């Protein structure tokens, strides 16, 4: 079985992003870029499945600028076998991303697709569900545990508001990862060298998806969130309780 992992290059999660003064976007010049943390977990899960002998190839794919090659190389240094870059100078929105990924699926015929539940830049949380829909296959979103149970069946534990929900899906399927699914491995220097020789296929988005359907949502403006008012520091529990009582928050 082949596993396809879809990843995205995003501003590193440790960076506190700033809105540009003219409201046209957020400042990304010179900012550290990384694999979306949820996608890193997706890569790790695919590798573990392969290491258990349940898959024989892990292919990573991304849609993005040419710079995204860096993130694909990192994924291959982690252990992915090969990579596909669907090159696009413009940001793609989830519905278009899902259409591109469906084309890649048609080409690659994976038995399982794993991807992060959301990218921490746009926080959309849509692409995996849309992909599963267009592909007409099951989805198991927000996964914190993935187990193979019998032929072609996956049992997935999902992190939901009420606790942990378990569902059973038939393969092929799309799994979207939550943070507690695993802890991604660190890449070692020799693996980075090895990854340089692994195949990385670059395709133009217009060739992969000549006729995208649907329209993009227009972004009119970026702004900084309203800052909270500056608070106060107290010295003692008595002072704290007085304030809480004053505000009517405790009796």
Partner 1 sequence: MSKVLILAEHNGSQINQSTAKVLTAAKQLNADAIDVVLFAADSGLASQVAALNGVNEVKFVQCADNHDQLAASIAPTVAELGKDYTHVWGPSTTFGKDVMPRVAALLGVNQVSDIMEVIDANTFKRPIYAGNAIITVKTDTAQIVATVRTASYAAEKAMDGSATINESNLENAASHTTYVSLSSGNSDRPDLQTASKVISGGRGVGSEENFKIVYDLADKIGAATGASRAAVDAGYVPNDMQVGQTGKIIAPDLYMCFGISGAIQHLTGIKDAGTIVAINKDADAPIFEVADVGLVGDLFKIIPEMMEKL
Ligand X SMILES: Cc1cc2nc3c(=O)[nH]c(=O)nc-3n(C[C@H](O)[C@H](O)[C@H](O)COP(=O)(O)OP(=O)(O)OC[C@H]3O[C@@H](n4cnc5c(N)ncnc54)[C@H](O)[C@@H]3O)c2cc1C
Footprint on residues 104-123 left by ligand X (CB under 6 A): 120
CA angle 169, 175, 176 (to 5 degrees): 140
Of 16 and 197, nearer to partner 1 (C-beta) is 16
Of 17 and 200, nearer to ligand X (C-beta) is 17
Q: Using CB distances below 5 to 8 A depending on partner kind, what does residue 193 bind out of ligand X, partner 1, none?
A: none
Of 35 and 63, nearer to ligand X (C-beta) is 35
**Which residues touch 114 (CB under 8 Å, ≥6 apart)?**
3, 4, 5, 6, 42, 45, 46, 174, 175, 176, 177
CB–CB of 62/85 below 8 Å? yes
Least Cβ distance, residue 166 to ligand X (angstroms): 22
> Site size for ligand X, by CB under 6 A?
4
DSSP symbol at 142: E
Q: What is the CA radius of gyration of the chain?
A: 21
> Which residues in 178-197 contact ligand X (CB under 6 A)?
179
Of 79 and 94, nearer to partner 1 (C-beta) is 94
Least Cβ distance, residue 37 to ligand X (angstroms): 4
Of 117 and 203, nearer to ligand X (C-beta) is 117
> Which residues in 68-87 contact ligand X (CB under 6 A)?
none
Of 36 and 88, nearer to ligand X (C-beta) is 36
CB–CB of 139/93 below 8 Å? no
Burial bucket for residue 72 (CB in 10 Å: 0-12, 13-18, 19+): buried
Least Cβ distance, residue 41 to ligand X (angstroms): 9
Among 37, 79, 110, 172, binds ligand X (CB under 6 A): 37
CB crowding 91-121: b at 16 or more within 10 Å, else e: ebbbbbbbbbbbbbbeeeebbbbbbbbbbbe
Q: Using CB distances below 5 to 8 A depending on partner kind, what does residue 144 bind out of partner 1, ligand X, none?
A: partner 1
> Which residues in 150-179 contact ligand X (CB under 6 A)?
179
Least Cβ distance, residue 136 to partner 1 (angstroms): 9
Least Cβ distance, residue 45 to partner 1 (angstroms): 16
**What does each C-alpha distance from 85 to 13, 75, 248 come to in angstroms?**
22, 12, 57
CA angle 173, 174, 177 (to 5 degrees): 135
For residue 30, the SS3 value is coil
Least Cβ distance, residue 116 to ligand X (angstroms): 9
Among 13, 18, 66, 109, binds ligand X (CB under 6 A): 13
Least Cβ distance, residue 29 to ligand X (angstroms): 22
Which residue(s) pair with 143 in the sheet?
158, 177
By CB under 6 A, name the binding residues for ligand X: 13, 37, 120, 179
């Amino acid at each position: 079985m082949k596993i396809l992992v879809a990843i995205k290059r995003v501003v590193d999660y440790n960076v506190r992003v700033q809105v540009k003064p003219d409201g046209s976007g957020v400042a990304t010049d010179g900012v550290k870029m990384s694999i979306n943390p949820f996608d890193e977990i997706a890569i790790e899960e695919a590798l573990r499945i392969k290491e258990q002998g349940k898959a024989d190839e892990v292919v990573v794919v991304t849609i993005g600028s040419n710079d995204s090659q860096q993130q694909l190389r990192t994924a291959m240094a982690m252990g992915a076998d090969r990579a596909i870059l669907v090159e696009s100078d413009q940001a793609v929105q989830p519905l278009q991303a899902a259409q591109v990924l469906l084309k890649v699926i048609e080409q690659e015929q994976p038995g399982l697709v794993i991807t992060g539940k959301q990218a921490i830049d746009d926080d959309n949380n849509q692409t995996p569900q849309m992909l599963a829909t267009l592909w007409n296959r099951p989805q198991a979103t927000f996964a914190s545990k993935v187990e193979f149970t019998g032929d072609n069946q996956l049992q997935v534990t999902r992190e939901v508001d009420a606790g942990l929900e378990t569902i059973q899906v038939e393969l092929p399927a799309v799994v979207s990862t939550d943070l507690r699914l695993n802890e991604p491995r660190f890449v070692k220097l020799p693996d980075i060298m090895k990854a340089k020789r692994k195949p990385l296929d670059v395709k133009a988005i217009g060739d992969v998806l000549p006729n995208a359907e649907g329209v993009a949502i227009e972004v009119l403006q970026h702004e900084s969130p309203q800052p909270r008012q500056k608070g106060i520091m107290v010295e003692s529990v008595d002072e704290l309780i007085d304030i809480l009582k004053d505000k009517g928050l405790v009796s």
